[in-house]
Amino acid sequence: MKYDEDKVDDCTLALLYLVAHGREEGYGARAWKGFDWDTLNRLHNKGYLSNPVGKTKSVAMTEQGFLQAKSLFEKHFMNKTDTIAFPNFTAPAKKRWNQIPEGTRKDILDNVWCPHCRTGISMRLREGVIEERCLVLRGTCNLCKGEVARVIEPPE
Ligand SMILES: [Zn+2]
């Protein structure tokens, strides 16, 4: 049988999130390993799982594996409305934000510098305020969940 192994890996990793337990912040988690053996081995080779060989019924997920599983689970199996919390805007901030065309707003949120990841990421918007005439957007990095902000200069 020929199939897209990477897709199966992604979905299996996403489902491992559902059977994850013993989560330790920064140290990954454990997950029940009743999944396809070859897939688990590939996930091990990708650095998401410890070596799945062994008599225990669960496998250790690395920190990277747990975070990736969580993000894939949200991507594949959660409703968008459940994952994106309604952002809090002050009235003047909301007015300014709504003046920006929708496509541009999306571009802004998809290109935020994350000081933790040291790269451009997409931001999960939490709040918007006006500070010194600038629109300040605050939220979390979709990659590392760290705090990020984006300042938009006032229009001329
Ligand atoms: Zn980040």
Mean pLDDT of all residues in 87-94:
90
The C-alpha atoms of residue 145 and residue 142 are separated, in whole angstroms, by 6
Query: Which pLDDT tens digit goes with each residue over 29-85?
Result: 899 888 999 999 999 999 999 988 888 889 999 999 999 998 898 888 876 544 455
Ligand 1 centre distance from Cα of residue 143 (Å): 5
Task: Count Cα neighbours of 120 within 13 Å in the Cβ-side half-sphere.
Answer: 5
pLDDT of residue 83: 47
The C-alpha atoms of residue 111 and residue 22 are separated, in whole angstroms, by 34
Mean pLDDT of all residues in 128-150:
94
Ligand 1 centre distance from Cα of residue 125 (Å): 13
pLDDT of residue 85: 54
CATH 1.10.3470 fits 5-79, yes or no: no
Ligand 1 centre distance from Cα of residue 97 (Å): 23
Instruction: Report domain extents, the chain.
Output: 5-79, 84-152
pLDDT of residue 42: 95
DSSP string, 138-154: EEEETTT--EEEEEEPP
The C-alpha atoms of residue 91 and residue 68 are separated, in whole angstroms, by 36
pLDDT of residue 156: 73
Beta-carbon neighbour count of residue 58 at 10 Å? 17
